[in-house]
Structure 1
Amino acid sequence: MLYGYARVSTLEQENHTQIDALRKVGVDFLFEEKRSGGDSRRPVLNGLLNELQKGDTLVVYKLDRVARSLKHLLNVIDELASRDVQFHSLTEHIDTASPAGRMLLQMLGAFAEFELAMIRERTKAGLAAAVARGAKPGRPRAMSPLQEAEAVRLFKTGGMTKSAIARRYGTHISSIKRALARAAGQAEMFN
């Protein structure tokens, strides 16, 4: 059986290109996931890997859809090989049924890991430069400091629940929880 795996890194991204290519080669079962490739804990991929049996083939559109670190990629390939499961990447034309395909897979895996390290390095440098210019990275707070103080007061006096406060300020309950945590942290600093 041919099992296809398609992955994008964020919920906003779409994987239509991958799915179209996998369907074109005739995969029997298609698994989709929206999660970072740098995260080796991917429930859909892990479930798929557990489902594969002797004689099956895992097909991906591109090598970096499975793993962004060489170690993770080699672990996946070793696990598949131990169960006589083949791996095929459409874009890089890699098929682990041949020694040349296995060697090419390892080389491309090293490049994928290098690319991820470079992305991380550029991101850290960009954030450091932005902070040096006075930028405050991250999402802006949903409430002003005055609103946060009022929300904390409303919760501590027992006047309102977190959900009710969130509705009052038109924000998510997580914003209220963060405001309460910040207030608790500040109170500890002064005690």
Structure 2
Amino acid sequence: MKIHHLGAIKEWLHNQRVLIVLDDVDDLEQLEVLAKESSWFGPGSRIIITLKDKSILKAHGINDIYHVDYPCGREALEILCLSAFKQNSPLDGFEELARKVVELCGNLPLALRVVGSSFYGESGDEWRSRLYGIETNFDRKIENVLRVGYDKLPERHQSLFLHIACFFNHKSHVDYVTSMLADSTLDVENGLKTLAARSLVSTNG
């Protein structure tokens, strides 16, 4: 349906039971104009919002938040295989290679799909030759997606993110990172909260 002003959303849907999905929201104003209040929609309606920055939800007064974590090893392998082999498990002779690719992609779904698609139909020898390329160069499509979240960070938090990415193992505990950077000029405590809220680091465990 076509609308000519944003107020039409409230006018047309206030008595309708609807399911609305707002995908990849990156600004509080988007929620304000598209789904400001639950009273805009009829009883029993469900509004699902996907985004990277949890602070937007909290600023909008939404507390029912579900965090989507990285897939486990088995799920990551299946994601890769669906793109690389068009089935949910590796072809014979590709098991070790597929698991190595999953390891290099760090269970990142986008990376698994992009790399898997690029390997589709290739021989085992071609897989082996490309593994080095994965280790040394990230696919441009993946880099561009990840860059969006980084570029939106304040400069002080960009610096913290680069320190974490370059100097700390991905399994380092929050307390260890905080203590190691305690004497730096970085705003570590607030920076970690911001990075976690924007899904750029995980502070669980």
TM category (shorter chain) comes to under 0.3
- Say which one has the larger Rg: 1
Of Structure 1 and Structure 2, the greater strand share is in 1
TM-score (norm 2): 0.22
